[in-house]
Structure 1
């Protein structure tokens, strides 16, 4: 055997022993730190990481989330999230490290999500200041466009026929009770005005969206009793907040029966089973299965 191969084998054995020693040492630590990507994720995904820490803390576990600049900015809106964080420079060598997105609705005990919403999010004064009262007959519709449709890779994963979905969902809502006003929450008001203009035949549209103001969008979703959601984590959290705020409107939420191709057969594993699932169609194609 050559000297080079012997040296390579020795380095491999050292690396294995080093990993085993580190794992053994970390087994003595009681703190686990969830490490989200430092950038590239929005509020909806951030909140799932923080829900993980909240659920762990409720169970008596020392779980924290490594802070990022994005999470830090949202702590100005939701200051009660602070206690779930640890700054990157304070992550100890012996801390367990994971990256757990925790988006499965059934991952934690049933009390974890509503307690996270009512204890950590809804007390937010900046959020409450943006929430508007509305009639029970109002309907808020969330439409997610953006990179889901501008980036071909994402469109292939997340895209579907939005107009047919909205039309079908609104029809189901009207079958429950009349709609007297519609508010659209979207990142693309121009597209919605052009492609969802049929909504004006249902009820007056009070707003076609305020793009660039994520807090206003979240507050609009949270304050509405009746919602039609997008296949978006931000949209799901808007509904979680609405359910926490109103307490009795779980059956007044409509959501696509689809989130992303290639995972769980496309089914949205994030959603509350008490919400209504509406079948969607592929763009220019048959119903999505």
Structure 2
């Protein structure tokens, strides 16, 4: 194993000396989807902006719906078979604040690369704009034991704490956006005490979910990159269209940063665990 590691290291160093040509390629880590892809694209966009170097992101098949929804992302994407031997590649997540991007980059990228999509703007016009939007992320966060250990937290307590900070007269219409609506109906019944609770009507896709998060009047975000991007989009809208409040759990992922999320915008309200544990 030692010999193999030495050979691999020597090969990597040799390739680094050869791979100096632009555009530089963010290869991406595994596994990735959704909001994680957007962090790669904003990293490439921000590096172009701040360094003058050309950076692109390696295409993955799961990116295709995102490229169709947000056409401006195509200029930041390259197919693997188009990458030359001499082009530099990096394997990363694109989530290192102040190294990969600044917070202003997130919002400028949202305005210039995402909110310029005519299709997505049409979605924003089709969803509720006068509601409290509660986003709940379940899925593999809770079905896979190692993910549950890292991402899982007291969703009920957090949602209660977040709603308590929204005046009752402003929370009479609640739109629930979740990948597990059935779980929410079983465990978040207290939402009905605040007002009328609804979900997106009829067949819809993840971009309709994203638009509803971005369009809400008051946002209660989940600890997920998809939810964060809904918040970034919302906070990047023209001032009159932005939400009045955005709240998010301080908790994101226990594997890094003592579990605290570095991906929240300063203008949002972060809610730490000790405000709702046992709630």
TM-score, shorter chain, exceeding 0.5: yes
Shift of 1:32: 1.5
What is the rounded CA distance, in whole Å, between the counterparts of 1:106 and 1:15 in structure 2?
30
* The one of 23, 43, 52 aligned to 2:43: 52
After the TM superposition, which of the residue ranges 113-122 and 102-111 deviates more from structure 2? 102-111
Q: How does 1:121-270 map to 2 (within 5 A)?
A: 121-131=114-124, 132=126, 134=128, 136=130, 138-174=131-167, 178-207=170-199, 213-247=205-239, 249=242, 252-270=245-263
CA contact under 8 A between 1:258 and 1:280: conserved in structure 2?
yes
After the TM superposition, which of the residue ranges 11-20 and 89-98 deviates more from structure 2? 11-20
Over the aligned positions, Cα root-mean-square deviation in angstroms equals 2.8
Q: Which runs of 4+ in 1 moved over 3 A?
A: 11-21, 104-107, 132-136, 208-212, 246-251
Is the counterpart of residue 112 in structure 1 residue 105 in structure 2? yes
CA contact under 8 A between 2:217 and 2:244: conserved in structure 1?
no
Deviations 1:138-179 (A, max 9, x none): 20000001111111111111111111110011001227x621
Larger radius of gyration: 1
What is the rounded CA distance, in whole Å, between the counterparts of 1:81 and 1:17 in structure 2?
35
Correspondence for 1:65: 57
TM-score by length of 2: 0.88
TM-score by length of 1: 0.85
CA contact under 8 A between 2:27 and 2:89: conserved in structure 1?
yes
What is the rounded CA distance, in whole Å, between the counterparts of 2:108 and 2:5 in structure 1?
47
Correspondence for 1:277: 270
Is the counterpart of residue 43 in structure 1 residue 54 in structure 2? no
Correspondence for 1:5: none
What is the rounded CA distance, in whole Å, between the counterparts of 1:178 and 1:16 in structure 2?
59
Shift of 1:109: 3.5
Count of aligned pairs: 274
CA contact under 8 A between 2:216 and 2:243: conserved in structure 1?
no
